[in-house]
A and B are shown apart, each in its own frame.
Chain A
Amino acid sequence: MKFVSMLPVVAVGGILLLAAKDFPAWGDPQSPASSSPVSSHFIGSTGVDTEVPNMVTAVLADYRGFDTMFETVVVFIAGIAVLAILGGAGKRRASKRVHEVEAEPDLIVTNTARLIVPVIQIFAFYVLAHGHVSPGGGFQGGVVMGASFILIGLSWDLETALARFSIQRCMAVAAGGIVIYGGIGLLSMFLGGEFLDYAELESILPVSREMARYHAMLGVEIGVGFTVTAIMFALYANLSTAGRLKGGL
Chain B
Amino acid sequence: MGLELFNTFILLLLVVSALAALRVRDLVTAAAIFGVYSFLMCLLWAEMGAVDVAFTEATVGAGISTVVLVATIFNLKRKSND
Cβ–Cβ contact A236 & B71, under 8 A: yes
The answer, among B48, B52, B59, B71, for a CB contact under 8 Å with A239, is: B71
3 nearest A-B residue pairs (beta carbon)? A240-B71, A135-B51, A143-B59
Is B68 engaged at the interface, CB distance under 8 Å to the other chain? yes
Q: Interface SS of chain B: helix, strand, loop or mixed?
A: helix
Q: Which of A105-113, A144-152, A164-172, A215-223 contacts B (4 or more CB under 8 A)?
A: A144-152
Cβ–Cβ contact A143 & B63, under 8 A: yes
The answer, among A26, A135, A140, A239, for a CB contact under 8 Å with B68, is: A239
Q: A235-B68, A240-B74 are in contact. List 17 more A-B contacts (CB 8 A).
A: A26-B48, A56-B52, A135-B55, A136-B52, A140-B52, A140-B59, A143-B63, A144-B63, A147-B63, A150-B67, A154-B67, A236-B64, A236-B68, A240-B71, A241-B75, A249-B70, A249-B74
Cβ–Cβ contact A236 & B67, under 8 A: yes
Q: A26-B48, A146-B64, A147-B63 are in contact. Are A140 and B71 (CB under 8 A)?
A: no
Q: What is the size category of the interface that chain B forms with chain A? A: 10 to 19
Binding site for B on A (CB under 8 A): 26, 54, 56-57, 127, 135-137, 139-140, 143-144, 146-147, 150, 154, 232, 235-236, 239-242, 249
Cβ–Cβ contact B55 & A140, under 8 A: yes
| Residues from chain A with Cβ under 8 Å of B48 in the complex | 26
Cβ–Cβ contact B60 & A239, under 8 A: no
| Residues from chain B with Cβ under 8 Å of A239 in the complex | 68, 71-72, 75
Q: How far is the CA of A127 from the CA of B59 in the complex (A)?
A: 12
Cβ–Cβ contact A143 & B70, under 8 A: no
Binding site for A on B (CB under 8 A): 48, 51-52, 54-56, 59-60, 63-64, 67-68, 70-72, 74-75
Q: A135-B52, A135-B55, A140-B56 are in contact. Are A147 and B72 (CB under 8 A)?
A: no
28 cross-chain CB contacts under 8 A: A56-B52, A135-B51, A135-B52, A135-B55, A136-B55, A137-B52, A139-B60, A140-B55, A140-B59, A143-B56, A143-B59, A143-B60, A143-B64, A144-B63, A146-B64, A147-B59, A147-B63, A147-B64, A147-B67, A150-B64, A150-B67, A154-B67, A239-B68, A239-B72, A240-B74, A242-B75, A249-B70, A249-B71
Task: Write the nearest CB–CB distance from A141 to chain B, whole angstroms.
Answer: 9
Task: Write the nearest CB–CB distance from A34 to chain B, whole angstroms.
Answer: 13
Name the residue of chain B whose CB is nearest to the CB of A97: B75
Q: How far is the CA of A136 from the CA of B56 in the complex (A)?
A: 8
Q: How far is the CA of A139 from the CA of B48 in the complex (A)?
A: 21
Q: How far is the CA of A240 from the CA of B51 in the complex (A)?
A: 31
Q: Which of A54, A57, A144 has the most C-beta atoms of chain B within 10 angstroms of its own C-beta?
A: A144
Task: Write the nearest CB–CB distance from B8 to chain A, whole angstroms.
Answer: 14
| Residues from chain B with Cβ under 8 Å of A136 in the complex | 52, 55
Task: Write the nearest CB–CB distance from A103 to chain B, whole angstroms.
Answer: 14
| Residues from chain B with Cβ under 8 Å of A144 in the complex | 59, 63
Task: Write the nearest CB–CB distance from B14 to chain A, whole angstroms.
Answer: 14
